[in-house]
Chain A
Amino acid sequence: MIDGLFASANYEGVKKMLDATVLRHKAISSNIANVETPHYQRVDVNSSFDMELKRAIASNQTGNVNSIQPRIEVDQQAVAQNRDGNSVQLEKELVSMQKNMVAHQLQTQMITGKLSKLRKAISGQA
């Protein structure tokens, strides 16, 4: 059926990346909200997500791509800079928010590109 039009590992991969981007924004907002909470540990999208997605896209199986789920977890790499045990650095969070926003723009444009190519193919326009 129509699912066949969209069943490519790349397209499904971009959708997963978009999920992860939205989730990362959530993680960043939680970090910034808790920038002054004692003993708060910064969170991020699970670090294994990127590798898993890369492997799944390389395998070219949409099933593999669909089975990956990004999730939020505590960032074990981050160490507290202050004595209050909080591992958030505001500047880093703001920079990663900006990066995340650009990534979101890129991903939405990639999806739009795929859809408009399909539309052109269907309508037969040059």
Chain B
Amino acid sequence: MIEIMPGVESAASALQAEKTRMEVIGQNIANANTTRTEKGGPYQRQVVQFQTYLEGKLGVDPSDAGQKVRISEIMSDPRPPREIYQPGHPDADDNGIVKYPNVRVHEEMADLIASSRAMEANLAIIRTARSMALQTLNIGRA
């Protein structure tokens, strides 16, 4: 089957995945100083894992189907928490050490920029697909 706008399915899947990544980044930044969570202990930074996949559609030859992307897993960053000496803090241990989340805000900001660039690139794909489709519809018009 030939779709009118080629490749927009892949781009749409990527936009969705990037949106989820941005949400996770937002969550990390929001919790950059959370020392107490429901599970106990400081908040742990979350990272997303991208995965490519082919949608098994009937009648589509896998050799010419566009590969999509999705987020396969949201994992906890295994790096240790930041330990800061703050004796007056309610979450301080006996030595006055408070465990802060392993979130580094500058790292999150860099990821956020990468994510927004990836989104722009995918939007460019959709824009081009649209102009190609319009061009195709104009075949035969002088």
Contacts and interface: CB of A to CB of B under 8 A. Distances in A.
A71 B8 contact: no
Contact of B6 (A23, A33, A36, A116): A23
B139 A112 contact: yes
Nearest to B132: A104
Nearest to A97: B128
A17 interface: no
A26 B66 contact: yes
Interface in B50-72: 50-52, 61, 63-69
Nearest to B125: A29
| Majority secondary structure, A binding face | helix
Given A33-B122, A94-B121, A26 B64 contact: yes
Contact of B14 (A28, A32, A73): A32
B135 A23 contact: no
**In this complex, which of B49, B65, B136 has the most chain A Cβ atoms within 10 angstroms of its Cβ?**
B136
Interface string B1-45: 010001110110110000000000000000000000000000000
A72 B64 contact: yes
Given A26-B64, A43-B67, A105-B135, A37 B50 contact: yes
A111 interface: yes
Contact of A36 (B50, B67, B139): B50
Interface of B: 2, 6-8, 10-11, 13-14, 49-52, 61, 63-69, 114, 117-118, 121-122, 124-125, 128-129, 131-132, 135-136, 138-142
